[in-house]
Structure 1
Amino acid sequence: MTDDAFFSTASEVFDWMETNCTQGIRPGLERMEWILERLNHPERRLKFIHIAGTNGKGSTAAMIASVLQESGFPTGMFISPYMKDWNERISMDGQPIPEKSFVYWAGRLAPLVEEMEGDQVTPFEFWTLVAILYFAKEAVPWFVVWETGLGGRLDSTNVVYPLVSVITNVGHDHTYILGEGISDIAQEKAGIIKPGVPVVTGCQAEALEVVESVAKEKSSKLYRLRHEFDLEVLSQGEEGGSFQFQGPFRHLEQVSVPLRGAHQLENGAVALMTLEVLRQYYATVMDDEDILKGMAEVDWPGRLERVARQPEIILDGAHNQEGSEALASAIRDFRYDRLHLLIGVLEDKDVDAILRPLLPLADRVMVTGVSHHRGLDPRQLREKALQLCPDVEIDWEPRADKALQQLRAEANDQDAILVTGTLFLISEIKKTLGRESSF
């Protein structure tokens, strides 16, 4: 890298993006392809593991990356959104992209973006392009774990030809873009399937039928949870769980995962099957010891994450119906006297579907605002909550930091405070607490 940069600091990049990137969600690959063509397609130098799905993408990505790193493979990862620090979106062997590198590669992209006439890239597209340049020309990982942002078919990440495609599951989210029905949403997720590229999925029922159809059409070998591979739950509780993995190539008797919730064990099985595809199709050497250690040491914040005790504070980014139902199921395994629920959501979500599984479990509810342009007014959120559960005490506080402070003051040492509704709120609370600790 040279010093003749377009920008000097990350703040300058973000200021430039405010003016030169079109805000909002704009599905389509034309802008990405236009720029990548002018960059001589750096994405073609990289080996991707492409992951789509409604829930569990990030957790599955983290497990895959953890095992690959433990097995000695330099591994890049691209995720969204970040939890605490802006540069967590792009990481190399668990380390966020350095500001100097981000600024440099953003500076190489900016003139091309400015050259585009009447069709500016979105911020997420810009981040995707920075990630491609950083991985291809500086970090040079052996593998890149590559998470979609929204959907799959028209998501900006879908400009790559991966080693394996992964679809964790399909649920109700972003229906205003992806479609109202599960089949419609599954069709969009299945858009990451490439001809001849093996596919691993945790999808079930109606969604699975769509994935099966697309995989057959693309002549892609499909590995399905409960079919070609499966798991037997051995234990699950507040400190995570363990399971037995049965796959077509390898069986593992006891796999421990520190992430909490039964859904994380299923994500673990999907991750292991993906790793098996890398091992069988691409001669990726991973022994059992490294696999088990990588799974046991995975860290993924914001998913049933304990960040304090007395009272216990638990963070979970459930932001749709299926995520909320999984959270409600998992929280029943926790021990506490009273449950205080702190929740904030985005206005374009199915708010009732998020609230309905959680409100009956709470002894106290505090709704709050979200520092995001799509954040739902907490007064509107409170009204919706009262309609669904009029017998529960429900207050509101527009500032999330003050809302948390109030709940902590009211809770006793044996209570639990559950913060949920959107990952943007989780990120804000983590900044308020000032650390990412697991106690």
Structure 2
Amino acid sequence: MKFSDVILNIESREGKRKSYDFSRMRALLKVLNNPHDGLKYLHVAGTNGKGSTSNFLYNILISEGYIVGLYTSPHLERYNERIMINGNEISDEDFTRLGKIVIDAEKQILDEFEVMTYFEFITAMAFLYFREKNCDYCVLEVGMGGLSDSTNVVAPKDKLMSFITPISMDHMQYLGNTVEEIAEQKAGIIVKNVDVVSSNKNKSVVEILKNKAERENAQYYDLDDVKIENLIIDDRGSEYTIKFKDETISNLKINLSGYYQLENSALTVMGVMQLRNKGLLKISDESIRNGLKNTFWAGRMERVNDSPMIILDGAHNFDGIQRLTENFRLFNYNKLYIITSILNDKEHDKMLLEFSKYADEIVLVSLETKRKTELDILREEAQKYCENVKVIDNLKLAIKDVINVSKRNDLIVIAGSLYLVSDTRKIIKEILKIN
């Protein structure tokens, strides 16, 4: 079996999400000798910011010298990005080998269960890989929700802490039609006697999280429990001092731009400090500093050109777009061009309205996915709010067009979908070289 065969097998499962009760996942893992049991997990859920938070955690632990596994989704360019250990993606050879092991194991349970989902399959591969490499710690990013997510199969005894980033409206067809229903799903990663840290501010969401923590006898902390001092923030990142309980860590620096990345990093540091306070983690202040400083997360306020400035951001729901636009004030620019496309299961009308409050021109492009919103629909919505709307079906042509009409002190933002950011990263170097 070749690498491409495993990829085709995985992709054949896409869109086949099923009702979920862990029985299928547990049956598969049992055939695989339960590779997930006994590892130490840091579990991260939320609507926006969970990937960045996972990466901050991962890099802090690596800085202390631990062997650390990271499982995130989705990928931007290669499936291998989803499974990493100490800065290295899983190799094509290991991906192929473990994929075949999971395929063979699945055959043993098909008499009783349906085929594994796309996400279950890769999650099982991650558990196998982390077990093989004897990871000291594993950072697991929830795929969707939390309560019924396949990462939530880990036992409470193996979980050190739950991290919950801001919760908002997304994946409503699966998680619920109100933010409270979605919060109930995300709160599913809160388990008995395991502390939880949260960066949520919505009162109804906070109440749900606190109530779940109380029922599980889990200590709950949020950003109201920390104090941020000596803050310096600009378009390149942030520097600050954090105080939590009786401890202070100064000279913290992150190289990810945006107010929301400041929140993500503060949430991470608070969690790490609490783990250290409880004796569950040995970590130095210097490792925390180095981990934050060394964190890079592709496609999140990623600057790919300086003149004109071009920013790629994976914001793909309304709350994410609001968090993106609030950061525009960090940049000095003349005109703002936004190149965007949005999936059909997102609140695209509201997202385009938010973009229109800041954009001098919105350029709509097509996506190579069945989930895309047709350009005629996006055009009709965008033109309600913005005077200057262009439709250029081809992404490469759209980027070239905007670069050609922009000036050195303009800002170009490419955002609205992770598919869009992924496609842009594959072609942007070639475009910039030509221009």
Structure 1: runs of 5 or more not aligned: 1-6
Report the alpha carbon displacement of residue 319 of structure 1 after superposing the two structures with TM: 1.1
Q: How does 1:25-424 map to 2 (within 5 A)?
A: 25-28=17-20, 29-115=22-108, 116-117=110-111, 119-137=114-132, 139-161=133-155, 162-204=159-201, 205-226=203-224, 228-232=225-229, 234-387=231-384, 389-391=385-387, 393-424=388-419
Superposed CA offset, 1:232-289 (max 9, x none): 4611111111222111252113321111111111111110012123323344222112
Q: CA RMSD in A?
A: 1.7
Structure 1 residues 385 and 434, CA gap change in structure 2 (3 angstroms): same
Given that 2:363 and 2:392 are in contact with CA atoms closer than 8 Å, whether structure 1 keeps it comes out as yes
Structure 1 residues 22 and 431, CA gap change in structure 2 (3 angstroms): closer
Structure 1 residues 421 and 133, CA gap change in structure 2 (3 angstroms): same
- Counterpart of 2:317, as a letter, is N
Report the alpha carbon displacement of residue 414 of structure 1 after superposing the two structures with TM: 1.7
Report the alpha carbon displacement of residue 82 of structure 1 after superposing the two structures with TM: 1.2
With normalisation by structure 2, the TM-score equals 0.93
With normalisation by structure 1, the TM-score equals 0.93
Report the alpha carbon displacement of residue 45 of structure 1 after superposing the two structures with TM: 2.8
Report the alpha carbon displacement of residue 79 of structure 1 after superposing the two structures with TM: 0.5
Report the alpha carbon displacement of residue 141 of structure 1 after superposing the two structures with TM: 1.4
2:331 & 2:272 partners in 1: Cα distance?
A: 31
Give the aligned partner of residue 3 of structure 1: none
Given that 1:186 and 1:207 are in contact with CA atoms closer than 8 Å, whether structure 2 keeps it comes out as yes
Structure 1 residues 260 and 98, CA gap change in structure 2 (3 angstroms): same
Superposed CA offset, 1:392-434 (max 9, x none): x111122222221221122122211100001111111001124
1:65 & 1:280 partners in 2: Cα distance?
A: 19
Given that 1:183 and 1:210 are in contact with CA atoms closer than 8 Å, whether structure 2 keeps it comes out as yes
1:27 & 1:57 partners in 2: Cα distance?
A: 24
Which aligned segments of 4 or more residues in structure 1 are displaced greater than 6 angstroms? none
2:293 & 2:262 partners in 1: Cα distance?
A: 12
Given that 1:152 and 1:158 are in contact with CA atoms closer than 8 Å, whether structure 2 keeps it comes out as yes
Structure 1 residues 261 and 233, CA gap change in structure 2 (3 angstroms): farther
Pick aligned residue for 1:14 from 7, 17, 28: 7
SS at match of 1:45: coil
Given that 1:378 and 1:397 are in contact with CA atoms closer than 8 Å, whether structure 2 keeps it comes out as no
Report the alpha carbon displacement of residue 27 of structure 1 after superposing the two structures with TM: 5.0
How many residues align structurally? 424
